[in-house]
Amino acid sequence: MNKQKLVLVGNGMAGLRALEHLLKLAPDQYEITIFGSEPHPNYNRIMLSSVLAGGADLNDIVLNDLDWYAGNHIQLHLGHTVTRLDTERRKVYSDKGAVVEYDKLILATGSNPFMLPLPGADKEGVIAFRSIQDCQMMMETSRSYRKAAVIGGGLLGLEAARGLLHLGMEVSVIHIHPYLMDRQLDEAASRMLQSELEAQGMKFLLSRSSESILGRKRVKGLRFSGGETIDTDLIVMAVGIKPNTELARGAGIEVNRGIVVNDNMETNIPGVYALGECAEHRGISYGLVAPLYEQGAVLAKRLAGAPTDGYHGSVTSTKLKVSGVDVFSAGTFIEQEGTRVLKFQDEISGVYKKLVIHEDRLAGAVLFGDIDDGAELFSIIKSGESIKGREKELLLGIPSDARNISSGNNRLMQMSNEEIVCGCNGVSKGTILEAIQEKDCTSVGQIKACTKASASCGGCKPQVEGLLQLYAGDKAVSAKEGICGCTTLTRDEIVEEMKRMRLMSVKEVMNVLGWDTEEGCTKCRPALNYYLGMLWPEEYVDEKESRITNERFHANIQKDGTYSVVPRIYGGVTSPAELKKIAEVAEQFEVPLVKFTGGQRLDLLGIRKENLPKIWEALDMPSGHAYGKTLRTVKTCVGNTFCRFGTQDAIGMGIRLEKEFERLNTPSKVKLAVSGCPRNCAEATIKDFGIVAIDGGWELHIGGNGGVHVRATDLLCVVKTEDEVVEWASAFLQYYREHANWNERTSNWVERVGLGSIKQALESHEERLALQSRIQAALAVTTDPWKQIIEEPELRKNFESLSGAKVEQ
């Protein structure tokens, strides 16, 4: 069977979602070619604000990586802009000379940001907020300049403003209307939103019309109608988008505001289809993700020859979450003739709810502060069902009775499999059912990991939970497990919010993310302290009071209340001078027991708490961190230095690694080992990171554990040089630091995420170097804890307060 040639112009979210559906329905029907103007694979534009805030990079928001294209045998032309279509000969031409024939053509050219035609708009420092390049420009600008102005007080403008605040800039938002987000909110909700954002540092200039941009080569200010001016170093225009139709118009395809399509997403030219922000259906061009994904599902069926009722338009909803502020709107939320409006407002709690009802049906809704009911209300709006007698329940969130629970289940059952549940990530009901029924997902967390549903804003979680209860039955794990009893948030959710909102203290995290207990507990406080230090190593001030007892005292507490002190002995190699010093300290402080450890070090046991500072000062040796969630030991054999079987210098490699990573904070304790030959005398294959010398190179092993649950390592790779060993070790440890749960050993983490995913994450040399750079940045700000305590007054005072021991200077 000869495959038809399918060409997709546009490598964005809408077009790729259509292809994903098509490949499931008819995987062998088409030979597919894609043109994308940007040099990146398909990524989630919704998450650009997270990139701007430093909470994510391109890899974090990529939806279809290059392996996906290759695995589906797709010819991908990145960095190619299609300049001409020949619809008679059915050919596509790019600016880089590519010419491709097609049988079917999909135009998913998206939209362009609308740039106000102001005098001076061509100056340096005037940009839009639409792409990765825009984010990079903003981040670069923030390093040299302080003041930013965002023109546009809509959803996109506020996201841009929040990101610029995170970058440390002073931000003014200019909006032509008298209140923010006038297309998504009514005035009452908008005023509440403005108040919250002003408290976070945003400034607002409302009812302002921009007239001209000041400055010579680079922007210096902005002038409004009436003569008022403000100083600014950066202007971000977020005033709207316009469908990108130039290519279609030049080919004779019917264009109005967008490329005109029918219910099957067909243009007026046979074999040419359009979808997404460039398309116009029944007079409407959509700029939100959910309608675009719905269009993609219809088009995929059409191309696969599967039955479809066509696309009939979408009811849209908007969710906004800016630094803890929750906003939701859907449907027709402005009162009109013939509608009835119900409102609830609690200024103290910061909650506002508004329902617009037409002929006993819910026409629209606005929620502020508490948006838990948003998904259910949106479902009711789309279903068009009668809500007569239920108005109070829906407005006030009164718990549903059995009848209404049944009604909610009926709504979920009646949803088509193509209907989008998670608008942020384009996850349909059918994809979630597949995760539940075929992949045995029994919790919301597992569904999120499998499908990305609820992984971004979280507004669809009630629907995901409902589908789980409905289709998993007794297997469903209904209680959501957080990192502890103080919160229902998972590790990934907490870290994502820390990054997105640039939270910088344990207390701030608890306040903004709504902890159930004011001070947290012994499980969450150390975890939050670690995550913050991992994210912001150069800025975060370690909260000693949030560390576990052993780490606060820099020693291991024993069952009789005394402590154990283990100085660092690199690679198990010591000297007569070190041994004499340890012996003298043991005699001076009458240490009851001195013992060789399993990690080739000496342990001084039975030390009273008040003697800890004096002992460390007398030893004048680095801490071996035998007490911490950090690098403990690097065990070595003698290698080829002495052993006749040794093939490499195990001692030298071990000492280098130990000096490289000492003082590194990690989610749980980490142990390394270097064996000089495959006889493996250093037991490297039951360590977190093990190195085994072979002829001409090194085997690198990960995820071992010699504890209660013994686990042999997995082979990560084989390298040739010592520098490569350090590079891979750095990359692995940093990737573990950034992705593991607090208190999760590498053995458990490797089993949870899979060896394949780790190999994939580390296979790029550039990514390994990036990870190595981040781990070096984290290490650069650490020093030996006892030297800090002795030399720095604030730390000395803090230790004395926590321990009751006096530190003598």
| CATH code: domain of residue 699 | 3.30.413.10
What is the reported pLDDT for 799? 60
What is the reported pLDDT for 278? 97
Half-sphere exposure of 9 (CA within 13 A, CB side): 33
Residue 163 resides in a domain: yes
Report the SS3 class of residue 44. Answer: coil
CB 804 within 8 A of CB 610: yes
How many angstroms separate the Cα of 605 from the Cα of each of 432, 564, 565, 618? 55, 4, 6, 16
How far does Cα 208 stand from its chain's mean position?
Answer: 35
Domain shared by 740 and 716, yes or no = yes
CB 375 within 8 A of CB 463: yes
Flag residues of the chain having pLDDT under 50. 400-405, 479
What is the reported pLDDT for 457? 55
How many angstroms separate the Cα of 79 from the Cα of each of 7, 82, 763? 16, 10, 24
Domain shared by 219 and 256, yes or no = no
Residue 658 resides in a domain: yes
Give kind and range of the element (H or E) at residue 441: none
Could you give the number of structural domains in the chain? 4
What is the reported pLDDT for 402? 41
Report the alpha-carbon distance of residue 512 to residue 498 in Å, rounded. Answer: 10
- What does pTM read for this prediction? 0.57
What is the reported pLDDT for 572? 83
Residue 401 resides in a domain: no
Domain shared by 633 and 768, yes or no = yes
Residue 518 resides in a domain: yes
Domain shared by 754 and 647, yes or no = yes
What is the reported pLDDT for 606? 87
Please give the DSSP secondary-structure letter assigned to residue 544: G
Report the alpha-carbon distance of residue 746 to residue 397 in Å, rounded. Answer: 43
Question: What CATH code is carried by the domain that includes residue 212?
Answer: 3.50.50.60
Q: Domain span at residue 670?
A: 628-783
What is the reported pLDDT for 480? 54
Look up residue 650 and give its amino acid: A
What is the reported pLDDT for 136? 85
What is the reported pLDDT for 787? 66
Please give the DSSP secondary-structure letter assigned to residue 764: -
Using only the alpha carbons of the chain, give its radius of gyration.
30
What is the reported pLDDT for 403? 42
Closest CA to 396 of 342, 348, 357, 347: 342
Report the SS3 class of residue 405. Answer: helix
Buried b (16+ CB within 10 A) or exposed e, 387-420: beebeeebbebeeeeeeeeebbeebbeebeebbb
Q: ∠ CA 150-152-154 to the nearest 5 degrees?
A: 120
How many angstroms separate the Cα of 270 from the Cα of each of 265, 274, 571, 620, 730? 11, 12, 72, 82, 55
Domain shared by 34 and 63, yes or no = yes
Domain shared by 84 and 162, yes or no = no
Q: ∠ CA 149-152-158 to the nearest 5 degrees?
A: 80
- The token duo for 308 is 């479809």
Report the alpha-carbon distance of residue 581 to residue 586 in Å, rounded. Answer: 9
Dihedral over Cα of 740, 746, 749, 750: its sign: positive
* CA torsion, ordered 377, 378, 383, 387, to nearest 10 deg: 20
